[in-house]
């Protein structure tokens, strides 16, 4: 995707914030360009990590969420505040790299399955047919064999159509014991545990057979087919490679691990520990994972934070320097709020319409009523805390509360929200600061 295409895609869902969109789009494109260079030069080019700064509810996490959906690259979003310093109980920061690798692996798996769909389907169909219509030991005549072949073709058609979905077949369940997928576990220990579980599953060799309806057996057989037909070692290698070259980690709530210089000493020292642990990972180091070790040099980090109580300069200097690209997200004004209500695909208003449509009532909004809701949201943001677009949720919820509660009374009819209705509901709330604080 070109930078412009990425921006266009984000534009469908996120209003404004064009600076942030551009920076991210460009960073992604730069990595793509890098991959086309000769290896010696590739190693020289470090990704420029991004720090997004903007107050709460202006779309930081939303941008990450949308990117994640769109990307064909391994992408994870993690909260910086969830990690603890090495040596303390909790998740250490290296586990985010392991999570990224596992995400990459499931992506690659899905791609392999998709590319080998026909072979897998063929395997499933074949196995099921053999189970549902066992081949006789030998045929007494050619005629009988021909009959069997026809019956087989018919059976396949039936299975494909789903006519056999309810019939019961007996299949062997995959043995191999329990999967350990806790990425927080150091890989050495995870491997030991895995070999133990393999050992036990070999010792307890009796096949676990189970009777299942065909519909469920299809899924298990598809898994079995993928295990048998596809090259899992190659998948693992590709997964590592892709995470290494294309991985993106979105570090949300980075401000929560900054230590404010104003409140000296009273802070949790482990926050700084987490920052220090982050340094080598962001700068580039080697982390061992279940699939092998991975170099983190070229993983792109996008950090985001509101920085209400702290400033970017409250991060330890070494970490600040590792996020050279800074983008600020603008606070949302009334016009932006109005657009957020109406413009994105599946905007808030569309969501309510769809929800109420399930009760067979049609909900519609006057143009002016939408304007009014944006205006009240803006005013509530000014009077109390500015919580950005999240204010819209409470505002719209309040306006629609009664109607939503009594939806069954409006069955088969259309309810139109007018400006007057919005005024009646919201004016008293917004005017009274105390009420606004509690209700909106
Ligand atoms: N610019 C925007 N365009 C469209 N929707 C937005 C925008 N900004 C915020 N929203 C909506 O507001 C909600 C909150 O936004 P988001 O989660 O991105 O906030 P944030 O910036 O991460 O805030 P915080 O610092 O509190 O985590 C989301 O549901 C999102 O749909
Ligand atoms: Mg957020």
**Residue 351 in tokens:** 């969501």
For residues 401 and 395, what is the distance between their CA atoms, to the nearest angstrom?
10
Q: Return the ligand 1 atom nearest residue 65 CA.
A: 18
Q: Whose CA is nearest to atom 11 of ligand 1?
A: 389
**Of 20 and 432, the one with more pLDDT:** 20
177: alpha, beta or left? (left if phi > 0; alpha if psi -120 to 50): left
Q: Please report which confidence band the pLDDT of residue 164 belongs to, taking 50, 70 and 90 as the band edges.
A: confident
Whole-number Cα distances in Å, 284 to 99, 231, 261, 281, 408: 17, 30, 28, 5, 59
Question: Does the pLDDT value for residue 64 go beyond 90?
Answer: no
Other beta carbons within 10 Å of 36: 7
Averaged pLDDT, 423-440: 83
Considering only CA atoms, which residue is closest to atom 31 of ligand 1? Answer: 62
Reported as a single tens digit per residue, the pLDDT across 209-238 is 888 888 888 888 888 888 888 888 999 999
Instruction: For residue range 26-56, list pLDDT tens digits in order.
Output: 988 888 898 899 989 988 888 889 999 999 9
What is the residue with the minimal CA distance to atom 1 of ligand 1?
Answer: 15
Instruction: Tell me the residue length of the chain.
Output: 440
CA atoms within 13 A on the CB side of 271: 18
Give residue 404 CA to ligand 2 midpoint distance, Å: 28
In terms of Cβ atoms closer than 10 Å to its own Cβ (0-12, 13-18, 19+), residue 153 is exposed
* Strand segments (E) across 271-430: 286-289, 292-295, 300-305, 325-328, 362-365, 414-417
Among 16, 24, 61, the mutation site with the greatest number of ligand 1 atoms within 8 A of its Cβ is 61
- What CA–CA distance (Å, rounded) separates 23 from 30? 11
Give the torsion sign (CA, 205, 206, 207, 208): negative
Q: Which of 69-78, 101-110, 314-323 has the highest mean pLDDT?
A: 101-110
DSSP string, 331-351: PP-HHHHHHHHHSSTT-HHHH
Name residues with Cβ closer than 5 Å to ligand 2, which is an ion. Answer: 61
**In the predicted model, what is the mean pLDDT of residues 259-266?**
65
Ligand with smallest separation from the Cα of 388: 1
Confidence band (pLDDT; 50, 70, 90) for 242? very high
pLDDT tens column, 370-415: 999 999 999 999 888 889 999 999 999 999 999 999 988 988 899 9
**pLDDT band at residue 89 using 50, 70 and 90 as cut-offs:** confident
Using a 6 Å cutoff on CB, does residue 338 contact ligand 1? no
- The residue-averaged pLDDT of 341-345 equals 90
Q: What percent of the chain has pLDDT over 70?
A: 92
Domain 3-107+240-328: which CATH class? alpha beta
pLDDT-derived band of residue 166, with 50, 70 and 90 as boundaries?
A: confident
Question: What pLDDT does 336 receive?
Answer: 94
Q: Find out whether the beta carbon of 392 lies less than 6 Å from any atom of ligand 1.
A: no
Does the beta carbon of 246 lie inside 6 Å of ligand 1? no
Range name among 27-31, 114-118, 177-181 with the lowest pLDDT average? 177-181
Residue 130 has what pLDDT?
A: 87
User: In the prediction, which pLDDT does 185 show?
Assistant: 65
Beta bridge partners of 352: none
- In this predicted structure, the answer to whether residue 205 has a pLDDT above a threshold of 80 is no
Task: Tell me what the mean pLDDT of segment 227-253 comes to.
Answer: 91
Per-domain boundaries in the chain: 3-107+240-328, 114-237, 334-429
Span 129-155, average pLDDT: 84
For residues 255-259, average pLDDT: 87
305 CA to centre of ligand 2 in angstroms = 7
| Any ligand 1 atom below 6 A from CB of 57 | yes
CA of 117 to the centre of ligand 2 (A): 38
What are the residues whose beta carbons fall under 8 Å from the beta carbon of 370, sequence distance 6 or more? 338, 341, 342, 349
- Residue 229 has a pLDDT of 87
pLDDT of residue 182: 60
Reply yes or no on whether the pLDDT at 180 is more than 60: no
With contact defined as beta carbons under 8 Å apart, do 323 and 48 qualify? no
CATH of domain 334-429: 1.10.8.60
Pocket flag, ligand 1, residue 60 (CB < 6 Å): yes
């Amino acid at each position: 995707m070109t930078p412009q295409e990425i921006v266009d895609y984000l534009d469908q869902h996120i209003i404004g914030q064009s600076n942030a969109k551009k920076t991210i789009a460009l960073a992604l494109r730069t990595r793509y360009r890098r991959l086309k260079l000769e290896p010696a030069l590739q190693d020289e080019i470090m990704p420029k990590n991004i720090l997004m700064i903007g107050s709460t509810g202006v779309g930081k996490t939303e941008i990450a969420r949308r990117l994640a959906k769109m990307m064909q690259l391994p992408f994870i979003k993690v909260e910086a505040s969830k990690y603890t310093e090495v040596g303390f109980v909790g998740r250490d920061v290296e586990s985010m790299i392991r999570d990224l690798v596992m995400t990459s692996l499931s992506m690659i798996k899905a791609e392999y399955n998709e590319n080998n769909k026909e072979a897998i389907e063929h395997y499933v169909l074949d196995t099921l047919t053999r189970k549902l219509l066992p081949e006789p030991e030998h045929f007494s005549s050619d005629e009988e064999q021909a009959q069997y072949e026809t019956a087989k073709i018919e059976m396949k058609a039936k299975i494909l159509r789903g006519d056999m979905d309810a019939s019961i077949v007996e299949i062997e369940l995959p043995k191999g014991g329990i999967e350990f997928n806790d990425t927080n576990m150091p890989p050495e220990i995870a491997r030991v545990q895995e070999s133990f579980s393999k050992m036990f599953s070999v010792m307890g060799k009796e096949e676990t057979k189970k009777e299942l309806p065909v519909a469920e057996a299809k899924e298990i057989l598809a898994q079995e087919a993928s295990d048998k037909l596809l090259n899992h070692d190659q998948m693992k290698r590709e997964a590592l490679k892709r995470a290494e070259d294309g991985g993106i980690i979105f570090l949300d709530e980075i401000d929560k691990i900054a230590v404010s210089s104003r409140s000296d000493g009273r802070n949790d020292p482990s926050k700084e520990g987490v920052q220090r642990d982050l340094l080598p990972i962001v700068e580039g180091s080697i982390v061992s994972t279940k699939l092998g070790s991975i170099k983190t040099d070229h993983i792109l980090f996008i950090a985001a934070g509101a920085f209400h109580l702290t400033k970017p300069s409250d991060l330890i200097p070494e970490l600040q320097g590792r996020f050279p690209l800074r983008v600020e997200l603008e606070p949302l004004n009334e016009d932006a709020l109005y657009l957020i209500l109406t413009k994105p695909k599946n905007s808030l208003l569309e969501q309510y319409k769809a929800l109420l449509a399930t009760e067979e009532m049609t909900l519609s909004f006057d143009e002016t009523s939408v304007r009014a809701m944006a205006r009240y949201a803006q005013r509530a943001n000014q009077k109390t805390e500015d919580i950005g677009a999240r204010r819209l949720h409470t505002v719209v919820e309040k306006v629609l509360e009664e109607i939503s509660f009594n939806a069954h009374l409006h069955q088969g009819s259309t309810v139109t929200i007018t400006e007057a209705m919005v005024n009646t509901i919201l004016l008293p709330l917004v005017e009274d600061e105390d009420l606004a604080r509690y209700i909106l």
